[in-house]
Amino acid sequence: MTTTARHPKTLLVIVAEAALEKTLVRDARERGAQGWTVAEVHGASLEGVREGTWEADRTIELKFICEAAVADAIADHVIATYAKHYAVALYFADVRVLRPERY
Amino acid sequence: MLDVVVFFFLLGVAARLAGSDLKLPEALYETLAIYLLLAIGLKGGIELSKQPIGALLPQVLACMTLGFAIPFVLFPLLRMLKLAGPDAASVAAHYGSVSVVTFAVATAALARAGIAYESHAALWVAVMEAPGIVAGILLARLAARRDAGAASTRWGELAHDVLLGKSVLLLAGGLAIGAVAGEAGTAPIKAVFVDPFKGVLALFLLELGLVAGARLTEVKRFGAAVIVVGLAAPPLLGLAGAALGWVLGLSAGGVALLATLAASASYIAAPTAMRIAVPEANAALSITAALGITFPFNIVIGIPLYIALAQRITP
């Protein structure tokens, strides 16, 4: 039954301008993130609509599954460093994973 | 009479303003951009294979110096228009860098008018992309030097992003391939990279029309300053480019192309680089001026003006 055991982890989702992808991934790795997925999205926020029609208008959604403390560290850093000048959205969710050592 | 490719741009603008759902797939946009950059590079490279590259060094240095100098000239003027320091630096960087598509439209216009130009002109485009961006970042740093909280620039990363970004990489790569393979070597791929060029350019301009149309609706947000910048900068900078071309002893077509490059504003390399290097600058302001106003101005009105000017001042 060990393979079906569920382990609690935190999912951190960051929606940000695509220009930030490299730096966000670098910062997250430095704070203990082991893996991530990126998807291109489009949408709108208080700062306006981002349609993603060409390079400078693209938006990404970055997902990290990690320990709660790591997710907190990443989120605090992102808010402190980028939120002032970039359109950034963040949220957390509790998730359960099968192989905890991977996150 | 406008060049036929410009009509595609106008169609895109009209579609966007009319609220059409027309949209080119992202992957197609990427593909067209890659094609255009490679094709422009190849064409220039084939010409490079026919002449000693060392002889072009003065031209290359002059083009780079022009690109670097433009932001320093524009910055104080933009500050007079009451733009904030970082915004002025960012806008200046966009104008210091160049628009490859504006260049492509200018070469199409010259070809149609039967005016000869230096066929290695793509080399100028490749070397003029980066200097303006570097100058804009320097200006932003100088303007913010009293601001203790200002972020430091990661120059290494920035150089990597700009010099190995797709526009410089593909242009330079195309130039290199063309120069090494020469006319005979590239003959087998001519059917793909040379003959369909104008049709592809037309399709790309349709997409840019859609994007520019979206920026036009943003003009209201920034008021008169962005219109003044977008319309006044190109003729001013175009004059500077034409003067440099004249000093370098270029042909009429070459003078027109250098004027076009000086007058054009980057909307691919510069926005991304400035977004990272000068986050406090308003990205929408620069893009609206560069793509919403200057780009349409140049391809509809500017290029015919620069060509007429070049024909006047060259023997």
Query: Given an 8 Å threshold on Cβ–Cβ distance, is B211 in contact with A53?
Result: yes
User: With an 8 Å Cβ cutoff, are B287 and A56 in contact?
Assistant: yes
- By Cβ distance, the residue of A19, A23, A53 closest to B272 is A19
8 A C-beta contact, residue B213 and residue B13: yes
Interface test with B, best of A55, A58, A59, A82 (most B CBs within 10 A): A55
Which residues of A lie closer than 8 Å to B, measured between beta carbons? 17, 19-20, 22-23, 40, 48, 51-57, 82, 84-86
**pTM, whole model, 2 decimals?**
0.88
Would you place residue B55 in the very low, low, confident or very high pLDDT band (cuts 50, 70, 90)? confident
CA B72 – CA B139 distance, rounded (Å): 8
Report the SS3 class of residue A33: coil
Spacing of C-alpha B146 from chain mean position: 32
The per-residue pLDDT of chain B, averaged, comes to 91
The residue with tokens 């950059």 is B37
For B211, nearest residue in chain A (alpha carbons): A53
Q: Where are the alpha helices (DSSP H) in B248-282?
A: 252-263, 269-277
Between chains, do B287 and A86 touch, taking CB under 8 Å as contact?
no
Nearest CA in chain B to A55: B268
Distance CA B211, CA B208 (A): 5
Taking the CA of residue A12 and the nearest CA in chain B, the distance in Å comes to 23
- For the segment B164-184, the average pLDDT, to the nearest whole number, is 89
Q: Which residue has the higher pLDDT, B78 or B217?
A: B78
pLDDT attached to residue B148:
46
Smallest Cα distance from B208 to chain A, Å: 9
Q: What is the rounded CA–CA span in Å between residue B227 and residue B158?
A: 30
A56–B271 CB contact, under 8 Å: yes
Please answer yes or no on whether A53 and B275 come within 8 Å at the CB atom.
no
Least Cα distance to B309 among B231, B241, B230, B233 occurs for B241
Higher pLDDT, B159 or B62: B62
- Judged on CB neighbours under 10 Å (0-12, 13-18, 19+), A28 is buried
pLDDT > 70 in chain B, percent: 97
> B215-244: per-residue pLDDT in tens?
888 888 888 899 999 999 999 999 999 999
Q: Which two tokens stand for residue A21?
A: 């992808």
- For chain B positions 185-244, those within 8 Å of chain A (CB to CB) are 207, 210-211, 214
Confirm if A60 and A39 have CB atoms less than 8 A apart. yes
Distance CA B225, CA B229 (A): 6
Minimum Cα–Cα distance from B275: chain A residue: A19
The string of pLDDT tens digits covering residues A44-77 is: 888 778 887 777 788 999 999 999 999 999 999 9
- Assess B7–A contact: CB distance below 8 Å, yes or no: no
Is B63's pLDDT higher than 70?
yes
More confident residue, B298 or B194: B298
Q: What's the token pair of residue B158?
A: 């920035």
pLDDT of B152 > 60? The answer is yes
Per-residue pLDDT, A47 = 75
Give the DSSP letter of residue B187: G
ipTM, 2 dp: 0.77
Judged against a pLDDT cut of 90, whether residue B29 lies above it is answered with no
Give which of B7, B125, B6 is closest to B67, Cα–Cα: B125
Q: Is there a contact between B276 and A86 if contact means CB atoms under 8 Å apart? A: no
**Cβ atoms B74, B92 nearer than 8 A:** yes
Residue A36: strand, helix, or coil: coil
Residue A23 structure tokens: 């730096």
Between positions 123 and 162 of B, the ones with CB within 8 A of A are: 157
Q: How far apart are CA B272 and CA B260, in angstroms?
A: 22
Residue B4 has which token pair? 């036929």
Q: Are B282 and B262 in contact (CB under 8 A)?
A: no
Task: For B18-75, give the DSSP string.
Answer: TT------HHHHHHHHHHHHHHHHHHHHHHHTTS-GGGGHHHHHHHHHHHHHHHHHHH
C-alpha B133, offset from chain centre: 12
Q: Which of B133, B145, B144, B125 is CA-nearest to residue B39? A: B125
Specify the pLDDT at position B147.
54
User: Which tokens go with B225?
Assistant: 């300053």
**Does pLDDT of A2 surpass 70?**
no
Q: Distance of alpha carbon A10 from its chain centroid, rounded? A: 11
> Is residue A29 pLDDT above 50, yes or no?
yes
Cβ-Cβ contacts under 8 Å for B123 (sequence gap 6 or more): B44, B48, B56, B59, B60, B175
- Cβ atoms of residues B272 and B167 within 8 Å: no
Across B153-177, average pLDDT: 83
The whole-number pLDDT of residue A74 equals 97
Distance between B162 CA and the closest CA of chain A, angstroms: 13
Residue B281: closest C-alpha in chain A: A85
Residue B95: which of B219, B271, B300, B215 has the closest Cα?
A: B271
When scoring B21, B215, B275 by the number of chain A Cβ atoms within 10 A, the one with the most, hence best to mutate, is B275
| SS3 annotation, B105-164 | HHHHHHHHHCCCCCHHHHHHHHHHHHHHHHHHHHHHHHHCCCCCCCCCCCHHHHHHHHHC
